[in-house]
Amino acid sequence: MDNEILKALRSRRSVRAYKPEQITDEELKAVLDAGTYAPTGMNYQDPWIVAVQNPEIINQLVRMNATVMGTDGNPYYDAPTIILVFASSPEKWENGTADASLVLGNMMNAAYAIGLGSCWINRERQMFATEEGRQLMTHLGLPEGLVGVGALSLGYPAKPLPPARPRKENYYRVVK
């Protein structure tokens, strides 16, 4: 069985090198809108999505994430846009992390569908659990009680996407 969506799901790859030019507002909106259509438990629509294109805030995010990672490099691969995704704490909504993960996945697939590159970035939970992180969340207009789930680096790929690596044997099981 094959169609355009299945082909796209098999050919999307994480991008770790971006052109410096900023994506268009139309492209950004398409990616963000796709995130809002991700399934969420009981259609609660708990995740909070914040797209950051402000260079000062991007530099702050890079520094915060690199500190958690223990590196001097740029964990967002010099992408011109970073999309942060937050969810309610597990005490408030137990499906928050799962719901936010689906939002990130939808946005990655949407980005690929319109010719953009993306990569899921981790460590946002640790970043936004700090005092600096909580202050930044307030600056971004987010309510209290949220946790960072993940982020996407987003932009135009600087080089061709690699082919898919072989899938591991016995990746899935069918029980009838």
- 95 Cβ contact partners less than 8 Å away, ≥ 6 residues apart: 40, 41, 42, 44, 46
| pLDDT tens per residue, range 22-32 | 999 999 999 99
Residue 172 lies in a domain: no
Residue 73: inside a domain? yes
- How many structural domains comprise the chain? 1
* The pLDDT of residue 136: 98
Alpha-carbon distances of 174 from 6, 47, 112, rounded to whole Å: 19, 32, 29
Residue 114 lies in a domain: yes
Q: What is the pLDDT of residues 57-83, one digit of tens each?
A: 999 999 999 999 999 999 999 999 999
* 2 located within any domain: no
Angle among Cα 134, 139, 141 to the nearest 5 degrees reads 95
Residue 91 CA: distances (Å) to CA of 85, 100, 110:
18, 15, 31
Give the DSSP per-residue string, 104-133. Answer: HHHHHHHHHHTT-EEEEE--HHHHTTSHHH
Under a CB-based contact definition with an 8 Å cutoff, are residues 104 and 85 in contact? Answer: yes
Question: Domain for residue 104, yes or no?
Answer: yes
pTM over 0.75: yes
**How far from each other are the two terminal CA atoms of the chain, in whole angstroms?**
20
Establish if 162 belongs to a structural domain: no
Domain span at residue 85 reads 19-155
Whichever domain contains 44, its CATH number is: 3.40.109.10
Instruction: In whole angstroms, give the CA distance from residue 101 to residue 55.
Output: 25
pLDDT at residue number 101: 98
In a domain, 134, yes or no: yes
Q: What is the pLDDT of residue 19?
A: 98
**Residue-wise pLDDT tens digits, 103-161:** 999 999 999 999 999 999 999 999 999 999 999 999 999 999 999 999 999 999 999 99
Give the residue carrying structure tokens 């990616």. 31
Phi, psi (deg, nearest 5) at residue 45: 50, 50
Q: Which of 81, 74, 69 shows the shortest CA–CA distance to 118?
A: 81
Instruction: Tell me whether residue 163 is in a domain.
Output: no
pLDDT of res. 130: 98
